[in-house]
Amino acid sequence: MTMTESITPEVTTREPILRARNLVKTFGRVVGLDGVSLDLYPGEVLAVIGDNGAGKSTLIKCLTGAEVPDSGELYVSGEQVSFKRPQDARAHGIETVYQNLAVSPALDVASNLFLGRELRKPGLLGSVLRMLDSKGMRKQARDELTRLGISTLQDVTVPVENLSGGQRQAVAVARAAAFGSKVVVLDEPTAALGVRESNQVLQLVRDLRERGLPVILISHNMPHVFDVADRIHIQRLGKCAATITPQSHSMTDAVAIMTGAATA
């Protein structure tokens, strides 16, 4: 914590949108998180990097309600919260794109965008007969994809399983961006993508920041991280080894901290 303050003094004066304190998570005898703290400030891109098994995914799952930490505190805009399910985090405006994409292959693009929070028709059709507003959802889905500049997806009635990896990723990111009111979390969003599609996703991340939406980005790809991140949280052996900025450290430094060859 002192490290964060010493490196980026200008942001610590603001209240973090998301604050985690001393998160601990164990799986049987394996310690996934060993007292990790993290702050996310408005309008920043915070990258989380670390070697395999360093606790990146566990950290993200605890922040987004996919896992319940054994101990530790979470605050959203200063208010203490505890997430038991992904819905709890979503209710607080935290949207996540998981590494395994979390899209339903057989459902179409529009259904996936609205999965779990479908729109109903106005009037008695919606309230009594619970009828879905398929037309409205398709239209909003198209609008959202256009707004995000995702032009390769024209037909929102195509089942997601018929899309390429990049297009599926775009659907998942669009869903998070459309509904995330406070935080968007992206877990390895470029891992399965080609160069051009990766750049599109990185541009999407910048656009989200532009809109004032803070982003947590988990990635293995150092150039991507150093390209878009404002601050970088480095996980090592279940702990936060350091929080650095692309200005204060080089990629080589970051890798050295990640592997334990150096300290910040």
CB closer to another protein out of 34 and 118:
118
Bridge partner residues of 46 (DSSP): 216, 231
The distance of closest approach from Cβ of residue 100 to another protein in the complex, given in angstroms and rounded to an integer, is: 7
The distance of closest approach from Cβ of residue 139 to another protein in the complex, given in angstroms and rounded to an integer, is: 17
CB closer to another protein out of 108 and 230:
108
**Alpha helices by DSSP H, the chain:** 2-7, 9-12, 56-64, 86-91, 109-113, 124-127, 134-147, 165-179, 195-210, 222-228, 251-259
CB closer to another protein out of 170 and 232:
170
> Counting beta carbons within 10 angstroms of the beta carbon of residue 43, is it exposed (0 to 12), middle (13 to 18) or buried (19 or more)?
middle
The distance of closest approach from Cβ of residue 131 to another protein in the complex, given in angstroms and rounded to an integer, is: 5
CB closer to another protein out of 100 and 263:
100
The distance of closest approach from Cβ of residue 115 to another protein in the complex, given in angstroms and rounded to an integer, is: 4
Structure tokens at 19: 């604050």
> Counting beta carbons within 10 angstroms of the beta carbon of residue 189, is it exposed (0 to 12), middle (13 to 18) or buried (19 or more)?
buried
Interface contacts to another protein, rule CB under 8 A: 66, 85-87, 90, 96, 98, 100-107, 111-112, 115-118, 120, 129-132, 134, 158-159, 161-162
